Structure 1
């Protein structure tokens, strides 16, 4: 999925969630910017994330992000790679150590635009996060990367308590619960 196919997929992307629908056009517009896939674009840039679930759809793998001090899905900067599915898979492997990762659907699962606070000389900016649904074996050992304080399979019914009012996490959880994707 390069820049052109990302744009095409975003143009076709539909969601019943008003918040998510409200920024689809911003994502499409960003695909026209030559620097959209590099973190040096300080107004905001693309990132790729993996919403990792177990095969029976009872748990999601979350990381306690070291810099943000919040529980989140795994993912990261594109660093010039326009294939955000590759970015999501690479970040998921690096941040979890899992080898059983399997793409459930190569289409966009979710998108979210969120503010990243200023850190050192890097000013506050937006991440335009494109998320993909990934499956993994829940019993495979996890390896915590230096980007995380912790990494854990969280039961679906405990995610809201752990993540608070993070609307994008709760939206992905709801999408997974309502998903018609075969187990």
Structure 2
């Protein structure tokens, strides 16, 4: 079954708090219920993959200012049928930032590990109704001195010190990622 790898990763994930635990459980239930969970054509919601990108010294993170959502976020996007959500996160990060030094950080066994799970509402836009993104987030590392590429989806890309991020967003989801990074 093409959902087994993701279900295994979700079951092995250790959420940071009760809120993330509830989202992790909701994501497991969603993936078990919908064989087409990786397809954006599933209009009630779908799996997305995101990258929490940090500098090698873990003092900075990279955020993008998303053009459509008009918010600072971590890079990420739709799986579009790909059940390898870690590969989705890496691909989306490369496409949105243009960075070539991106590296997926994994435990010693070489198996990707989920860094964070978040379920959030996406507003209706054109012919796409309001829906949920079941966002699976992975930890990536990149060189903060590498120049960025250009993406039509992005208004801005910037490295932030972890202490400065809350000046640009009050998203509990992003703040949880920072707390995990600093732990």
Q: Give the TM-score category using the shorter length.
A: over 0.9
Judge which range, 98-107 or 134-143, deviates more: 98-107
Match for residue 175 of structure 1? 180
Normalising by structure 1, what TM-score? 0.93
Match for residue 181 of structure 1? none
In structure 2, distance between residues paired with 1:140 and 1:16: 31
Match for residue 15 of structure 1? 15
In structure 1, distance between residues paired with 2:125 and 2:162: 31
In structure 1, distance between residues paired with 2:12 and 2:62: 28
2:118 paired with 1:109: no
Match for residue 25 of structure 1? 25
- The answer (yes or no) to whether the contact 2:54–2:61 under 8 Å persists in 1 is yes
Q: Which consecutive segments of 4 or more residues in structure 1 shift more than 6 A?
A: none
Deviation at 1:16, TM superposition (A): 3.2
Match for residue 128 of structure 1? 134
In structure 2, distance between residues paired with 1:122 and 1:92: 24
**What does residue range 140-179 of structure 1 map to in structure 2 within 5 Å?**
140-164=146-170, 166-178=171-183
Aligned-partner SS, 2:90: helix
Deviations 1:53-96 (A, max 9, x none): 00011111100000100000000000000000000000010001
Deviation at 1:45, TM superposition (A): 0.4
Deviations 1:132-159 (A, max 9, x none): 0000000000113100100111111110
In structure 1, distance between residues paired with 2:44 and 2:16: 27
- Quote the RMSD (CA, aligned, Å): 1.0
Match for residue 109 of structure 2? none
Normalising by structure 2, what TM-score? 0.93
Judge which range, 19-28 or 65-74, deviates more: 19-28
Deviation at 1:12, TM superposition (A): 2.3
Structure 1, unpaired ranges of 5+: 179-183
Aligned length: 176
